[in-house]
Amino acid sequence: MALKTFYRRNQVQFVQEFVDGGTPLVPYDPTYPKYSIKDPSNNTVQSGTANLVSGGTYRVDWFVPNDAPQSTENQRWVIEWTFFDENQRQVDAKEYFEVKDEVLIEDVGRDQKFIALPNTPYLFKVSLRYDPQDISLQVVNVNDDTDVLTTASKSELTHTIDNVNGLHVFSKQLSAGITADSTYMILWTVTESASSTPRNIFQRVEGVNLKVLSIIPEVRMLIDKFQKGVGSVTSYEDTDIHEYIVKGQSMINNFHPLTTWGVCVSSPMWYLNEFLVIAAAYYGLMAQYLVEGDMAFNFSGLSTVLDVDRTSMLDTAINRMLDHVKELLPPAKMKLYRSQVGVGAVGIRAFGRSPIRQQYTFRISSGPGTGVLDRLVKLGILTW
């Protein structure tokens, strides 16, 4: 049976039953049952009489000190119970447990990035395994480097307790909501005790427009066939797919001609939806490729060979997607770009200055021509 683990600076509880065939034992006098909590060096750190909860069940409350010695593999904490009943019969019980330092895992991993609907109230929150002496919040809009929300102390935050997971949850609502296509950095400053140094917890919230959200199911339907289900360890969360869509958007914009198209109905990017989905899936499967490579293994026994490696399958899918984008996106994007800015705005070379004569490529004149060669120069096909 696994030992219970308690963390420093936490209030904990021990419960013990003293019954005989389901019948509660009656203590010899009110000083029983007695208990002693001992550290790994067998020093008693707390002792006394346990509190009666109900017939035959007793409870002991203990606050784990900040300097409590941590358990090791061979040295553990123990609570010893001694019960002396009315028939002068003694019953002893022991429960070993571990004491560890606070393992701060709530401020890392997936919980560092969130996506939010724009222009709706948003709740910033952080979960801690302990109740700190003080905690403050600062929210900054990265796009224009402005402070959106600040709190000076713990009293300005809403404090709730998650009894199921044993967490203290601190939150603050932004009534104005998140702005679309904006990035917000959230800084929590936590002071555990009067003698501790404040530490920072960083989070990021992305204001996502509805058009980007509509693409998330499309990307998942394309690449999530490799997964057992959403929410498993290697599954794709919405925050992951949003990141891949942003990367895919950047990939399409970087294809010639260079553009800065966003994802909205009025943007030319919306007409390249097929390529955006494939580009986002490309980045998603690249991440999956790394996971599968880490999980691959090979076992050989006397008559058994077990080889698990799905990277080759992923590699084939990734290359197919990349080849599809490389082959079909450039001509499609060129036609779309010319339909937006007019004929002659860009030729087969980059839209910009000539590397030889430092001249710009101009749109073709609609008036009488000045010669075939001049027109080819203006198209960017020739350079004098």
Rounded Cα–Cα distance for residues 83 and 35 (Å): 9
- pTM more than 0.85: no
- What does the pLDDT average to over 180-205? 87
Comparing 255 with 374, the larger pLDDT belongs to 255
* 348 has a pLDDT exceeding 70: no
- What does the pLDDT average to over 82-90? 91
Question: What pLDDT sits at residue 109?
Answer: 39
First-to-last alpha carbon distance for the chain, in angstroms, is 83
Residue 126 tokens, joined: 């952080």
- The tens digit of pLDDT for each residue in 126-171 reads 988 888 889 999 999 998 899 999 998 899 999 998 877 778 899 9
- The tens digit of pLDDT for each residue in 9-43 reads 788 999 999 998 888 999 999 999 999 999 999 99
- Average pLDDT of the residues of the chain: 82
* 266 has a pLDDT exceeding 80: no
Burial class from Cβ neighbours inside 10 Å (0-12, 13-18, 19+) for residue 289 reads middle
Residues 6+ apart with CB under 8 A from 47: 34, 35, 36, 37
